A and B are shown apart, each in its own frame.
Chain A
Amino acid sequence: MARRIEIDPVTRIEGHARITLELGDTGRVERARFHVDQFRAFEKLAVGRPFHEMPGIMARTCGICPVSHLIAGAKAGDALLAVEIPAAAVRLRRILHLAQILQSHALSFFYLSAPDLLLGMDADPAQRNVVGLYAAAPELVRGGIALRAFGQEIIARLAGKRIHPAWVVPGGVSSPMRAEARDFVLAGIPTALDTALRTLDDFKRQLESHQEEIRSFANFPSLFLATVGEHGALEHYDGPLRLVDATGEIVADGLDPAAYREYIAEQDEPDSYMKSPYYRPRGPSAGMYRVGPLARLNAADRCGTERADRELAEFRALQRGAQLSSFHYHYARLVEIVYALEQIDALARHPEALDPRVRAQAGPNRVEGVGVAEAPRGTLIHHYRIDANGIVTWANLIIATGHNGLAMNEGLLQVAKHFVDGDRLREGMLNRVEAVIRAFDPCLSCATHELGRMPLDVRLVDARGNVVDVLRRDGA
């Protein structure tokens, strides 16, 4: 008899989502779906507004990665102005964006996923949170909090505030970097780098104990999409897109981000407000791709900074070809933290870091503009059309998490088939179902996340609607 398990809400992710598992007659999972129930309508909110407001409006999409929306929105604005922005502005945008990669990755790893990784997937849910983790590993949590705070403080020093600064504007940034801000950044790097490398070493030592999760957490062949920089380097701010396959071979390279519609198709899902894009030439099934830290490390030839390159070499040695397990998103995130710190250091040391020329002035010179940035969770696309007066007439966004939609559903099915046995529900097995989603670090709506207070109510319902089993997790 077919049965259905619903996990609502999925906890320790950014935003609100629900998972349904459908069990066949044998009690094994046959279908798994990830539903995003919230509706935001930012593409509609943009219509009728002057395009100079777009970075500020679009940044409100997210409280975790507002900087990525600022960057993508401002880059689309640059395209509408049809100007080349000053080099100093590019460097400052890069620093700001990397600071956000740093703080967002630290949030994902230390606050949201480390409780699973260090306390165990089957640990008491009342303890399996960052507070419980603090009791077990205070040094680690303190380091994680400090890393995130450092990223946030860099954003505040450069852009005026931690969350939703309006400093990134079409044409550049609104003010140059002050010497005090640069000194603050440079002074904080060594300690932060030390923490990041120590955490990465600890994580690598523990990989052995997560082999089952590594094997079953969305571990399948897929394409990987990411921006790459010069000479194929890891890149988060600007560059052509590259698509690699499961063997690590390049499928498409030098893709113009502005022409994304030529190679990315978007499909709607009947049971989710999240779009599911795919690589157009291969269709919705074979064209499934992943984005984000894992995809970026799989796509890049190198990081371009010393320590991150060493870590990338080790990461590559895990398996021939691309790393296919989504569990390794965690690993990739830690490598990217190291990269971000090294890169911020280099950018802040640039001899013209304090150059006052940071903004190009122009009116609208094009009626269509695309801005793409590598957000913490992957490739983020903003696309606007304007009228002759600069008023937005149409907008399309592809949020990083959306790209991963197909892969998350596929991953859910894999992990649910492996761990969920329909006869009896165990909290730990459902936690693994949630944990595979956490590995992708989805950012669904930027809803504020109330730590440890979200109750989880899972019902196993048979085809007639009878409740077979109920599992309740109260807010901790």
Chain B
Amino acid sequence: MSVCTLFVDGREVSAGAGETLLEVLRENGIDVPTLCNLEGLSAVGACRMCLVAVKGQGRLMPACTTRVWDHMEVTTHDERLDRYRRGVLELLFAERNHVCSVCVASGHCELQSLAAQLGMDHVRFDYLHPPLAVDASHPRFAIDHNRCILCTRCVRVCDEIEGAHTWDVAGRGVKAWVVTDLAEPWGESSTCTSCGKCVQVCPTGSLFVKGHAVGEMEKRTAFLPYLARRRKGTP
């Protein structure tokens, strides 16, 4: 494998050609916030939290879906990038109802932690708060569309790891939402294997195990890289 050399925040870094920028940053202990990305799943560049500035490029690029090239010069943190990331978070918080104080995942939520980490303490935009339902028709799990940020981790884990492809995205733009099968109640899905992977990879309180009270839903994602390797037949 050929090796290329990058300059990240002025620091010289080596990478294997074909690696994504995010992989290289993580390997070198350089922190970039992510939400939709999860090790073990394909990258989709949906959340825009990992946007970085690459010299010579006219636009910011998502680190998770950008392949590295030799002599790439990358800035991961500056005032503008941090402001944009906070802005992305503000838009996520403004779009649906993310009232942390009464959420099952409060204290264990990636969206909440990122907001705290990046200092997003106000939302400048009007909250949309569309009236969305909780689908609790599944015997063990429930989805609260109010907390969903459309990261599609559930869609990807169900398709790529479980192989069921129960989840998908329906609708467009602000009206997009994740659905089970052909937008049927989850409990009536004929493809769902009730494995619960979607629940574990969901970064917020949107997907949760029923019976959890406020702040009780902790997610476990450590199984995923291991499972992904096993699916590919590598140990």
Contacts and interface: CB of A to CB of B under 8 A. Distances in A.
A55 B215 CA distance: 12
Contact of A52 (B101, B139, B213): B213
Majority SS at the chain A contact face: loop
Interface centre among A53, A55, A361 (most CB of B within 10 A): A53
Interface residues of B, number: 19
B211 interface: yes
A363 B104 CA distance: 17
Nearest to B212: A52
Interface string A377-409: 000000000000111000000000000000000
Contacts of B17: none
A49 interface: yes
Contacts of A48: 133-134
A390 B136 CA distance: 7
Given A50-B134, A361-B211, A169 B102 contact: no
Given A50-B134, A390-B136, 20 more contacts: A48-B134, A49-B134, A50-B136, A52-B210, A52-B211, A53-B213, A55-B213, A56-B101, A56-B213, A56-B214, A56-B215, A57-B102, A60-B102, A169-B213, A170-B213, A174-B213, A361-B211, A363-B139, A363-B210, A391-B136
A55 B216 CA distance: 13
B97 to A, nearest CB: 11
B137 interface: yes
Contacts of B101: 56, 60, 164
A361 to B, nearest CB: 7
Interface centre among A48, A60, A166, A391 (most CB of B within 10 A): A166
A53 B136 contact: no
Contacts of A49: 134
A301 to B, nearest CB: 36
A385 B180 CA distance: 27
Interface in A146-180: 164, 166, 169-170, 174
A175 to B, nearest CB: 10
Contacts of B134: 48-50, 391
Interface string B194-234: 00000000000000001111111000000000000000000
B120 to A, nearest CB: 22
Interface in B18-34: none
A170 to B, nearest CB: 7
Interface centre among B106, B136, B216 (most CB of A within 10 A): B136
A391 B210 CA distance: 11
B154 interface: no
A49 B136 CA distance: 10
A60 B101 CA distance: 9
Interface string A252-291: 0000000000000000000000000000000000000000
A69 to B, nearest CB: 12
